[in-house]
A and B are shown apart, each in its own frame.
Chain A
């Protein structure tokens, strides 16, 4: 049967105005007494950290702070944060920031569970699957979130530039706090890439070839509804916090949907492109997703009519008799992309991200080096015409 049980309940969402203040009660009920805060440099500088501390510091006992996580999560950060956790005798972790801070926090959680002192040890050995010892992990995403907080993936860079990637249910977030005060101002391009990324993750999870449970569908549909209702307004009135919050919430939900049944090959290809080119993950994923919609002719084993029924009265769906379900979904996504073009220029090809032919051939070779036919097929479809 199912191999791993982590004996932790599903993610608890605390969202909306006052979520940070209210989270103190929930966290106290969970038995969290001594927190370690892990935060990335960008969030620390932007004022998110100050804002968080102002709201929770008197009620949450934050005894240690590690604020030096860079844009790329490094194994060194994980080791240092772990040492600090042990020195200060903490009992729970609070992660604030974007992707890298969340990766480091998840890595610390796994290392503590396994009794491992150095992240590099995971280069040679796997995560222990039988422990039921867990440390409560609370995540407070900043900006517009990346959806990674809902995943079970940890991806950190070792000193020798090797990537340590773990995919384990023990890396699960326990409490997710999404407070409007953390959705700080960002540029329109970033809003566009985040919103499109939410849409891409949500639709990818709905058309996934893997067996998805109704929970996944719920998160995906919710994400689509929130995105369609708020994306344009968020681009037009990026100063209004309400729209930014709703878009961030959509991304979180889309992340929950996507990471419960991730498209492994697509994720691996996007990761590889980002690693080699240094491009933003969201942009790369959006480009690949647009190609999925364009090139895959929906012959997968899902019922596209059911999908149209499920997505429902979406303003971008134009139901026309005689059209197949797959065509309607394609039209819907294309309409969406076309509508967005009115407001912002977003990258449509990998070349727009500064990835040249040499890099593409390098990516192609690296991706297909193990001779996997499925990978080769995907690389042919996605990289050849670039």
Chain B
């Protein structure tokens, strides 16, 4: 009967020619001058022109104020300064972002800065500064890749270039109004990008399945399980994930790709920030320390965190095995919880290896030095989502599993 709140306002739309109603969505949300954010790749493919055409369609009186082409690799501070300047100087009052990862995060942070009239995003590093909405800034996201995740949650990552650490900002205002899943654009991405998307969804699902949070139990503060609704989102995503992912990667079927992308999007929507745990934090930390993309760090992060948590998560891993491999295979495992938990770890590791071997041709394993491991442990201590991990933070054990 513990008090709990559950909501995420982002509405997810999918279907054929799904971007056709963009102008209706914006007029319903009360926007009249839209800023389109995208990347050069999408511009070259002509997708941004299509988006522009749909925003202007129907004589609804909606104008396009600016088209901003950003890059995933930009430094957060300078990217946000640019975006803020372009948004304000062109008198925009709504945003549509097409892209992946950081670009979506920048659009969300821009929305937060404009709607709260707080230009310095660093003020939101502290979770207690909630920010009061002053202006309404409608935001629609169109993810261009599989497993982006940020297209429908209330979380954004800001790279603090001084400390060289990615900081997480959680705020309800970061949650977009609509997430439009366009099958054409998602299924046109490369096989390796889709394979990374699968790993990203798997990582989130495992994180969410075992996530805990702190609560007052009697006079002590203890880690307790998160709200049941959040855990079931992970269960739904984990169920048949292996079969669905391999089928999708093998078949090139747009419908299957969108189906998988939808599962991932609903998972992000359901978990929001509470489900982010060690896999997410560890991948982010490795990415910061080694200067490689977040997706590339996922295989290492998944394997390391599974080992790190094995002892404390036996019951949950055993339960996750049923969802991951299906009841038929599950019934072949020994009855002992420990064996089933180990079975789950093995299955996930095998699955990760299979995806890498078959679909990520240019994958190079990440080699970590002793200094890197030390830096990663320090970096992890800054990430608030490590607190959602069921095992207490133990830097020595973390360094050990990264070997």
Contact with A214, one of B11, B236, B319 (Cβ below 8 angstroms): B236
Most chain-B CB neighbours within 10 Å: which of A7, A17, A213?
A7
Q: A244 CB to closest chain B CB, in angstroms? A: 10
For residue B396, CB closer than 8 A to chain A, the reply is no
Query: Is the beta-carbon distance between A1 and B1 smaller than 8 angstroms?
Result: no
Query: Is the beta-carbon distance between A12 and B326 smaller than 8 angstroms?
Result: no
Given known A-B contacts A213-B266, A221-B232, A132 and B7 have beta carbons under 8 A apart: no
Query: Is the beta-carbon distance between A180 and B28 smaller than 8 angstroms?
Result: no
Chain B residues with CB below 8 A from A2, complex form: 13, 15, 21
Query: Is the beta-carbon distance between A309 and B232 smaller than 8 angstroms?
Result: no
For residue B237, CB closer than 8 A to chain A, the reply is yes
Chain A residues with CB below 8 A from B326, complex form: 305, 309
Query: Is the beta-carbon distance between A222 and B3 smaller than 8 angstroms?
Result: no
For residue B6, CB closer than 8 A to chain A, the reply is yes
Give A321 to B262 CA distance when docked, in angstroms: 32
Query: Is the beta-carbon distance between B7 and A12 smaller than 8 angstroms?
Result: yes
Q: Mark A300-315, 1 if CB is under 8 A from B, else 0.
A: 0000011011101100
Contact with B1, one of A22, A180, A213 (Cβ below 8 angstroms): A180
Q: A176 CB to closest chain B CB, in angstroms? A: 10
Q: A227 CB to closest chain B CB, in angstroms? A: 12
Contact with A321, one of B9, B229, B236, B328 (Cβ below 8 angstroms): B328
For residue B362, CB closer than 8 A to chain A, the reply is no
Give A16 to B5 CA distance when docked, in angstroms: 9
* Interface residue tally for chain B (C-beta within 8 Å): 48
Query: Is the beta-carbon distance between A312 and B7 smaller than 8 angstroms?
Result: no
Closest to B231 in A: A222
Q: B267 CB to closest chain A CB, in angstroms? A: 7
Q: Mark A23-47, 1 if CB is under 8 A from B, else 0.
A: 0001000000000000000000000
Q: B389 CB to closest chain A CB, in angstroms? A: 22
Closest to A303 in B: B240
Query: Is the beta-carbon distance between A13 and B7 smaller than 8 angstroms?
Result: yes
Instruction: Categorize the interface residue count of chain A.
Output: 35 or more
Q: A117 CB to closest chain B CB, in angstroms? A: 25
Given known A-B contacts A1-B18, A10-B11, A214-B267, A319 and B2 have beta carbons under 8 A apart: no
Contact with B327, one of A14, A22, A221, A319 (Cβ below 8 angstroms): A319
For residue A163, CB closer than 8 A to chain B, the reply is no
Closest to B230 in A: A218
Interface residues of A in 182-216 (CB under 8 A from B): 213-215
Query: Is the beta-carbon distance between B20 and A1 smaller than 8 angstroms?
Result: yes
Query: Is the beta-carbon distance between B21 and A1 smaller than 8 angstroms?
Result: yes
Give A333 to B203 CA distance when docked, in angstroms: 33
Closest to B6 in A: A13
For residue B368, CB closer than 8 A to chain A, the reply is no
Chain B residues with CB below 8 A from A218, complex form: 229, 232-233, 236, 266, 270
Given known A-B contacts A17-B3, A215-B266, A9 and B11 have beta carbons under 8 A apart: yes
Pairs A–B under 8 Å by Cβ, sample size 24: A1-B16, A1-B17, A2-B13, A2-B21, A9-B7, A13-B6, A13-B7, A16-B3, A17-B3, A26-B5, A132-B28, A180-B1, A213-B262, A218-B232, A222-B232, A225-B232, A241-B1, A305-B327, A309-B239, A309-B326, A309-B327, A312-B319, A312-B322, A319-B327
Query: Footprint of A on B, CB under 8 Å?
Result: 1-13, 15-18, 20-21, 24-25, 28-30, 177, 228-229, 232-233, 235-237, 239-240, 262-263, 266-267, 269-270, 319, 322-323, 326-328, 330-331
10 smallest beta-carbon distances between A and B, as pairs: A9-B9, A12-B7, A214-B266, A16-B3, A7-B28, A13-B6, A132-B28, A222-B232, A218-B232, A309-B326
